[in-house]
Structure 1
Amino acid sequence: MDTLLSINNLKTSFFTHVGEVQAVRGVSLYLKRGEALGIVGESGSGKSITMMSMMRLLEENGKILDGQIIFEGSDLTKLSEKQMQKIRGNDIGMIFQDPMTSLNPVYTIGNQLIEPLMKHKNMSKKDAFDTAVKMLQLVGIPSAEKRMKQYPHEFSGGMRQRAMIAMAIVCNPKLIIADEPTTALDVTIQAQILELMKDLKDKLNTSIILITHDLGVVADMCSRINVMYGGMIVESGTTRDIFYNPKHPYTWGLLKSVPNPKNIAKERLNPIDGQPPDLLKPPVGCPFTDRCDYAMKICMNSKPPMFEINNEHNAACWLNHGLAPKINADAQGGNA
């Protein structure tokens, strides 16, 4: 009963004129009620497509080929579009990556906040207006009643992001998906948005899935982290596991790419050389093989299983096999 969401072996592809792009390749994860889960990885790793598959908001050429998405006991892959419309915005809210392109430019902010309340909660227009004003106040937008009559282009970037958060929580959903909620915002506004989301999680007991390429963003907000690469989850564990005891070379690379303010000596960041795999022709073995400094012959020919490090910590890397060579702890980039 504590599990709100469970995704099992999800596979999503896009069928293009050049072939099938296998964007999500067997993703499995779970989310508990009231929990904040981070999904991290570089662009193209499959983070957003996994969540768009869950919301059933794929492009016309996108298709869920296999897997289950169990939300509150119902498999979302089996529901009709009409049934999904009752869930989107009501039970699951989503903060999209770019609020300028996600908000409708021809409708006022107020209209876009009122619509889901009238649709999902059967509120009168007056009650919906009053509730929407309270939501804008809750997310820290001043002169909320006046702002209801303004259009998205009249808001600053930070205020548009706050308006998107207000839209996501206006129906008091059980789950909020935040897709890169701090992209293109300055560091001060980033901190304010993340603090706001933490407050909302605590006040409303809402579960959150935070999608980002920045491990630093999820460090103090999420209790667990899933690391994605090449359309797969390559490591999952508690935030402490991922930061202090990482067990996958890709996670090591991500941690080494984050500046450490504790380092007094000036050190260059260590980028991950190479390019992500081509998901038109995904590799047979480990997707990180071509960029991994510790790749072995088995990595090229056989996809590694999820090795259990402890009850909460798993990593899909052959280095965790009992017969694999041991890697120096300093090379792993833990405690970054």
Structure 2
Amino acid sequence: MEKLLQINNIHTSFHTHVGEVQAVRGVTIDLYKGEAIGIVGESGSGKSITMMTLMRLLDSNGDIKEGEILFEGKDLAKLSEKDMEKIRGNDIGMIFQDPMTSLNPVLTIGDQLSEPLIKHKNMNKSEARKKVVEMLGLVGIPSPEKRIKQYPHEFSGGMRQRVMIAMALICEPKLLIADEPTTALDVTIQAQILELMKDLKEKLNMSIILITHDLGVVADVCTRINVMYGGIVVESGTARDIFYNSNHPYTWGLLKSIPNPKLDIKERLKPIEGTPPDLLKPPAGCPFAARCEHTMKICLENRPENYKINEGHYSACWLNHPDAPKVEHTYVRRDS
């Protein structure tokens, strides 16, 4: 398979009046053409900032300190703003977390969806309108000919989310980044949105990066999963690796904190105690050490290397060192 995207050792910081926030601290992720991968983790783990770095949509105090972002061989980290504008919305589309803050309240839906077609595809207004109506119908919005004349506040939450998906897909991008696309939606609409994304992925043969804290969502959509914590990827592998052969204590904690309806016996959910690290002063060692029940002295002093568990499965944990004490995995799914 051909790689579409390679994020290599990217570091992103924000300069504030209290110091430098090291939001992303050496993330490496790759993506193949036609593949869907997931990025999961708690709020503040660096998921969205990694993707905003990829899109070059950081705030004015944000800075890419190190690393490269290769998209079809081009390093997006080094492109000019003018060149990035040709890629955003055209080759790479993004569904943002909150559609109400991402849509312009004073422009009609039709005008907002037509803009990228006119800019990137050199369509006239009539051609763009026809394409917008077609795309709104594709994402399941009824009577699209009438709806294009309406404003964002005239749509329900689920319909606004569909509009955001239509906007991200309007130029048929090679890569779709979906940042919490089902947040704040009821379960019925969530299921419809996920089915829509999977369907469009097959129809358009595009790649997807799905950012979420919902492990059930990534299990349904993604073939590979990256688990982030404290600005780094602590474990990566196939969906089966993560759910059935997870290796990192943080991944175990995430899996313990979600219900498993297929178990015959009832188990009390166990939250991960403690709080995420302060990225103003990130820990020298493993970012999860302060909350981990298996912490050793080396965990506090040195960041672990990325150990290869098996082909395509990696875990940044000192427990994988040959001299580390043997710890039985504390979480294994039992619904296979």
Partner of 2:107: 107
Q: Distance in 2 between matches of 1:186 and 1:264?
A: 27
Q: 1:293 and 2:293 equivalent? A: yes
Q: Distance in 1 between matches of 2:263 and 2:245?
A: 19
Q: Distance in 1 between matches of 2:326 and 2:133?
A: 58
Q: Is 1:238–1:312's contact at 8 Å kept on the other side of the alignment? A: yes
Pairing 1:53-132 to 2, within 5 Å after superposition: 53-132=53-132
Q: Is 1:109–1:148's contact at 8 Å kept on the other side of the alignment? A: yes
Partner of 1:196: 196
Q: Map Cα deviations across residues 300-319 of structure 1 (whole Å, 9 max, x no partner).
A: 01100000011200000011
Q: Residue 335 of structure 1: CA displacement?
A: 4.9
Q: Map Cα deviations across residues 178-217 of structure 1 (whole Å, 9 max, x no partner).
A: 0000000011110100000000001110100000011111
Q: Map Cα deviations across residues 16-41 of structure 1 (whole Å, 9 max, x no partner).
A: 00000000000001000000010000
RMSD: 1.0
Q: 1:246 and 2:246 equivalent? A: yes
| SS of structure 1 residue aligned to 2:7 | strand
Q: Is 1:249–1:332's contact at 8 Å kept on the other side of the alignment? A: no
Q: Map Cα deviations across residues 88-136 of structure 1 (whole Å, 9 max, x no partner).
A: 0000000000001111111111001100000000001001000000000
TM-score w.r.t. the length of structure 1 is: 0.98
Q: 1:39 and 2:44 equivalent? A: no
How many residue pairs get aligned? The number is 335
Q: Residue 324 of structure 1: CA displacement?
A: 1.4
Amino acid at match of 2:331: Q
| SS of structure 2 residue aligned to 1:219 | helix
Amino acid at match of 1:139: V
Partner of 2:257: 257
Amino acid at match of 1:318: W
Partner of 2:331: 332
Q: Residue 333 of structure 1: CA displacement?
A: 3.9
Q: Is 1:36–1:221's contact at 8 Å kept on the other side of the alignment? A: yes
Over 3 Å counting, the alpha-carbon distance change for 1:181 and 1:8 in structure 2 is same
Over 3 Å counting, the alpha-carbon distance change for 1:314 and 1:222 in structure 2 is same
Partner of 1:159: 159
**More deviation in 312-321 or 260-269?**
260-269
Q: Map Cα deviations across residues 247-266 of structure 1 (whole Å, 9 max, x no partner).
A: 00000000111111112433
Unpaired runs of at least 5, structure 1? none
Q: Distance in 2 between matches of 1:241 and 1:264?
A: 23
Q: Is 1:286–1:304's contact at 8 Å kept on the other side of the alignment? A: yes
Q: Residue 69 of structure 1: CA displacement?
A: 0.2
Q: Residue 290 of structure 1: CA displacement?
A: 0.5
Amino acid at match of 1:17: H
Over 3 Å counting, the alpha-carbon distance change for 1:149 and 1:250 in structure 2 is same
Q: Is 2:40–2:213's contact at 8 Å kept on the other side of the alignment? A: yes
Q: Distance in 2 between matches of 1:270 and 1:26?
A: 30
Q: Is 2:263–2:334's contact at 8 Å kept on the other side of the alignment? A: no
Partner of 2:138: 138
Partner of 1:218: 218
Partner of 2:20: 20
Q: Distance in 2 between matches of 1:161 and 1:264?
A: 36
Amino acid at match of 1:332: Y
Q: Distance in 2 between matches of 1:11 and 1:296?
A: 26
Q: Between the two proteins, what is the percent identity of the paired residues? A: 73
Amino acid at match of 2:200: L
Q: Distance in 2 between matches of 1:49 and 1:173?
A: 21
Q: Map Cα deviations across residues 3-22 of structure 1 (whole Å, 9 max, x no partner).
A: 00000010000000000000
